[in-house]
Amino acid sequence: MKTVFAKPSSVERKWYVIDADGKVLGRVAAKVASIVRGKNKAVFMPNQEIGDFVVIINADKIVVTGRKNKQKMYYRHTGYVGGLKSNNFETIMEKHPTMPLESAIKGMLPKGPLGRRMVKNVKIYAGTSHPHESQKPVTIEA
């Protein structure tokens, strides 16, 4: 038996559109991370970037369950002493409606250079329009 290694240049990469209107944040992020990683393909390799491209529209209409609107916190650090800043889900959605989805997907991808390349294959938009119509993306259900 010989192990077959598919070259990233020989793998066909597709474009998908996911409408996040009314969908749960974690479920959409898990589906997108799986597609971007390439786990939906028969030639999946954990050390290669062979996943597909995903366009997410209506990211501003994503929901969370329970009381996570007020309780889910996002932290960042300014770099200065005592510079830890925190915001809850509601305030982040008002200022940056795509950030919670970006953060959730990035956390589900591998850490390091491979994960940083994979996260560039996800395009997130707050509204319904996107500039990727020329790639002829296929609409899928999350």
* DSSP states along 70-129: HH-EEEEE-SSTT-EEEEEHHHHHHH-TTHHHHHHHHHHSPSSHHHHHHGGGEEE-SSS-
21 part of a folded domain: yes
List, for residues 35-51, the tens digit of each pLDDT value.
999 999 988 989 999 99
Task: Indicate left, alpha or beta for 132 from its phi (over 0: left) and psi (-120 to 50: alpha).
Answer: alpha
pTM for this predicted structure: 0.93
pLDDT at 131: 97
Domain encompassing residue 125: 15-63+98-140
The answer to whether residue 1 is domain-embedded is: no
- The band of 110, judged by pLDDT with boundaries at 50, 70 and 90, is very high
Region 12-37: mean pLDDT is: 97
Report if residue 10 sits inside a domain: no
Q: Look at residue 44 and tell me if it is in a domain.
A: yes
Higher pLDDT, 73 or 7: 73
Mean pLDDT throughout 100-108? 97
CATH number of the domain encompassing residue 136: 3.90.1180.10
Q: Helix, strand or coil for residue 59?
A: helix
What is the count of structural domains for the chain? Answer: 1
Residue 34 lies in a domain: yes
Residue 35 lies in a domain: yes
Tell me what the pLDDT averaged over the chain comes to: 95
